[in-house]
Amino acid sequence: MNARKPRRHRVASSQVGLMLLMVAGVFAVLSPRFLTPGNLLNVCTSASVVAIVGLGMTLAIASGNFDLSVGSTAAFAGCVTVSLVQQIGVALAILAGLATGAAVGLINGLIVTELGVPAFIATLGMLTIVRGAALIYTGGRDIYLYGQTQYKILSSGLTPVLLALALAFVLWFVLQHTRFGRHILATGSNAMSARRVGVRTSLVLLGVFSIVGATAALSGLILSAQVLTGNGRLATGLELSAIAVVVLGGTPLTGGQASIAGTLQGSVLVAVINNGLNLLNVSIFYQNVTLGLLLLGTIALEALRTDRRRTKQLTTR
């Protein structure tokens, strides 16, 4: 499921798979509850929530950008959806939540393309703005749903897993077989060259940021459905997890390439680590440290590989 299949992405994907097997084996030995059906379902659900927003983030990073506001977007979309369920019904409320996320993403894209603000600064600012908007929308209180079993379906059983797999297939197809997908990779590889050959990079980025916002919203809807609550503080730190699983999966931060399958594997790896540490009663603070170290280590290895490739290219000329 790779949009492009260079050797280094296949190597990265196999390394993530091997690491996943090793980590799962360690936790299976340390905790007898790890391999129980209920716990494995929890792992799959957690992985799916991160994978969904991570898949959107894969497009952003492949285009040479990223979005730091996805956690806030997820919270805001969840609050909007929960508040509307009893007024307009579950289906329309879900559409409204997804539209909210896409709108936030579109605003991010406009700030980047029309105002020329770097994505880091633009989405960092939106992280705070949208989180504040979610708290203003809810008045700083939780919005509860009672008896809305239809909305609960979003987070029940294998639904999150099926949604993540369906989204992965769609985005893989987009990257592999559509002009829009090729333009995303061309923009991330070299935006100036892409414009010279007729790629409308501004429209590409608007589309990418809108997709990222919609995927963040979908993750937020699943999280809110788990607790049947709209909470403006929901999904804090989701942006770090999303970037981590993309980088772990082998999509380089330099842009121009993407690994959809790698993002899925990275999501499962992070979910397994968090779940295993929970079973071992390790504090959430240490879990955050572990995720941060894993991300830094992956980026450092990617930088080392890049330097080695450049050195090799220079010596062969």
Enumerate residues 6+ apart whose C-beta is below 8 A from 216: 53, 56, 67, 69, 70, 71, 73, 74, 77, 101, 104, 105, 238, 242
Q: Are 219 and 51 in contact (CB under 8 A)?
A: no
| Among 82-86, 132-136, 168-172, 252-256, the least confident range | 252-256
Q: What's the rounded mean pLDDT across residues 56-68?
A: 95
Please tell me the predicted confidence (pLDDT) of residue 80. 96
Chain-centroid distance of CA 233 in Å reads: 18
Q: Are 152 and 225 in contact (CB under 8 A)?
A: yes
Q: Are 42 and 155 in contact (CB under 8 A)?
A: no
Residue whose C-alpha is closest to residue 252's, from 11, 22, 51: 11
pLDDT digits (tens, 9 = 90+) for 127-168: 999 999 999 999 989 999 887 678 999 999 899 999 999 999
Mean pLDDT taken over the chain? 90
Please tell me the predicted confidence (pLDDT) of residue 181. 96
Q: Please give the CATH number for the structural domain made up of 39-316.
A: 1.10.3470
Q: Are 163 and 217 in contact (CB under 8 A)?
A: no
Q: Are 101 and 79 in contact (CB under 8 A)?
A: no
Please tell me the predicted confidence (pLDDT) of residue 128. 96
pLDDT digits (tens, 9 = 90+) for 223-247: 999 999 999 999 988 998 999 899 8
Q: Phi/psi class of residue 143: alpha, beta or left (left: φ > 0; alpha: ψ in -120 to 50)?
A: beta
Percent of the chain beyond pLDDT 90?
Answer: 71
| Among 26-35, 61-70, 103-112, 284-293, the least confident range | 284-293
Please tell me the predicted confidence (pLDDT) of residue 2. 47
Percent of the chain beyond pLDDT 70?
Answer: 91
Tokens 């929890």: give the residue. Answer: 42
Taking the domains of the chain in order of start, what are their residue ranges?
A: 39-316
- Round to whole Å and give the CA distance between 62 and 260: 11
